[in-house]
Structure 1
Amino acid sequence: MKRIIKLTKFALAYLGFYPDQLFENIKQFPSFIKELGDFKKSFKGKYTDWKFSYYPILTDKKDQSGKARGQYFYQDLFVAGLIYKADPKRHIDIGSRIDGFIAHLACFRKVDVMDIRPLNSNIQNVNFIQADLMKPAADLKDSTDSLSCLHTIEHFGLGRYGDDIDPDGHLKGLESMYQILQKGGTFYFSTQIGPSMVAFNAHRVFSVSYLLSLFETKYELLSFSYIDDNDVLHQKVELTEQGLANNFNCKLGCGIFELKKL
């Protein structure tokens, strides 16, 4: 029954209908009407030259003071801190979140950002390069000592962001990134972890063992961290046999790999 309810809510949300938000708005509406009346009584006669309009936002009073949660929130802060400490000569990012991770980096350093989609904003300390990393980037070979790709590779080749359909898209993307990074350079990489699967056209999920098999001849693993299914960050954990067998109890977690190119 819970699964049916979850799937129903997902389908409704896909159509732009959010029943939970609707019911909460209806629940809070009487309080809004009362507070509106109280405010207008005090407002009247004081600000005679002010325009008055209506813009009801009914659910914020039930929310927390901020949304300090989610895989992107924790990975962005964590990896930005690693790069701050490393202080590389150059840093290139592939497709990570502009309003999170890239914003953190841009506070203290310049960063080159590459994405298949255009960026129409002019952001201080951000140099944007539009590129498809499923294709070889010969002009960027061995061009940086520091590279990041956070929560991005799982989308390569699924067409979600206008990229070509390619089941091997993640492999081609990782190879391009390997070529861009200099020998001895650091690769900060994250993606969704759990039992391997493709959820077309949203994302892939990779087992930790599979990812390690892709890295073993090309990189030295400096550290592994992960964010579990409950959005708890586990920093620099040991890769145990049990952890590898059950993907650290993740079905849709986020693995964070700090790698050094051999």
Structure 2
Amino acid sequence: MRRLLKKLGFGYLKQIFKIFKNYLDYRKEYKIFKATNGQRFLVEDKDKYPLLNDKSKTTGFDKHYVYHTAWAARKLQEISPKEHIDISSLLYFSTIVSAFIPIRFYDFRPAHIELDNLHCEHADVTALPFEDNSINSLSCMHVVEHIGLGRYGDPIDINGDLKAISELKRVLSRKGSLLFVVPIGLPKIMFNAHRIYSYDQICSYFEEFELMEYALIPDMSNEGLIINATKEQSNLQHYGCGCFWFKKK
């Protein structure tokens, strides 16, 4: 047990203590609420639903997913396509942007969503069902780093990410825009969660494309989205988020 606690660290013990304290507060507040509740709602012990981690001074959020989707939405406003194709990015992005731009969403695990301006289908990013040079506006964000690691039921393939990148490049039309997002930092694989890429790696994979904009969501500071970030800033990251807007020449 001592070895386990040492491995988990002080932060883990602190989190356990916080949850326990919050639970004691919850029990106290429940008794007060139940005793003072009027007749508008039924309050019974069997319906208790404790949520113990939401008391914070500020609203917490995942920097990667809040900022990269905000960045991409702003780029689409600038690009202003008649239609946009998204490959497996966060569903919130497609469902919200489809209020303004028709979206076709494709995923290895298709989403059963019914909204006007949004069409969802199955697709394998390593073998996309599109003709060469056929898509003018395309995004694939926080996706490629997972391909080939088996996490989402896809087959193990050490070069799955490169195959996916090759397909994105193939289907994008000339002068078309690709919004591409991956973790940035020291290159490594965190199996089976994701890969982390360096800035130079991504630029080399798209060397025949024009980089229109690069934005960084840093993990090594409290900064938000850094527009026109440098390679040096990227190299300082452990698990940053790189947002690339590429155009096919």
Normalised-by-shorter TM-score class: 0.7 to 0.9
- CA shift for structure 1 position 110: 1.5
Cα 1:34–1:116 shift into 2, 3 Å? closer
CA distance in 1, matches of 2:138, 2:181: 12
Residue 123, structure 1, aligned to residue 110, structure 2: no
Cα deviation code 1:116-173 (max 9, x no counterpart) = 1121232342211201111253x44333211111111001111111112111111111
Aligned to 1:109: 101
- TM-score computed with the length of structure 1 as normaliser: 0.81
Residue 145, structure 1, aligned to residue 132, structure 2: no
CA distance in 1, matches of 2:50, 2:158: 43
Aligned to 2:241: 254
Cα 1:143–1:20 shift into 2, 3 Å? farther
CA distance in 2, matches of 1:238, 1:41: 56
Cα deviation code 1:42-79 (max 9, x no counterpart) = 32xx41x7432232535356224533442111111111
| 8 Å Cα contact 2:196-2:239 kept in structure 1 | yes
Cα deviation code 1:204-262 (max 9, x no counterpart) = 11111111111112x1011111111146334332545xx1xx73411111111111101
Aligned-residue CA RMSD (Å): 2.5
| 8 Å Cα contact 2:186-2:235 kept in structure 1 | no
Aligned to 2:150: 159
CA distance in 2, matches of 1:116, 1:81: 26
CA distance in 1, matches of 2:227, 2:6: 33
Equivalences, count: 241
CA distance in 1, matches of 2:207, 2:117: 34
Q: Percent identity of the aligned residues?
A: 30
| 8 Å Cα contact 1:141-1:179 kept in structure 2 | yes
Aligned to 2:8: 8
CA distance in 2, matches of 1:144, 1:89: 11
Aligned to 1:14: none
Aligned to 2:89: 96
* Paired residue type of 1:8: L
* Paired residue type of 1:209: D
* Paired residue type of 1:28: N
Cα deviation code 1:23-58 (max 9, x no counterpart) = 334213443343333333332xx41x7432232535
Cα 1:53–1:133 shift into 2, 3 Å? same
Aligned to 2:210: 220
Gap regions ≥5 residues in structure 1: 10-17
Please point out which of 30, 33, 38 is paired with 1:36: 30
Gap regions ≥5 residues in structure 2: none
| 8 Å Cα contact 1:28-1:58 kept in structure 2 | no
Aligned to 1:62: 55
- CA shift for structure 1 position 113: 0.8
| 8 Å Cα contact 2:148-2:155 kept in structure 1 | yes
> Tell me, what secondary structure is at the counterpart of 1:233?
coil
CA distance in 1, matches of 2:181, 2:51: 36
| 8 Å Cα contact 1:32-1:56 kept in structure 2 | no
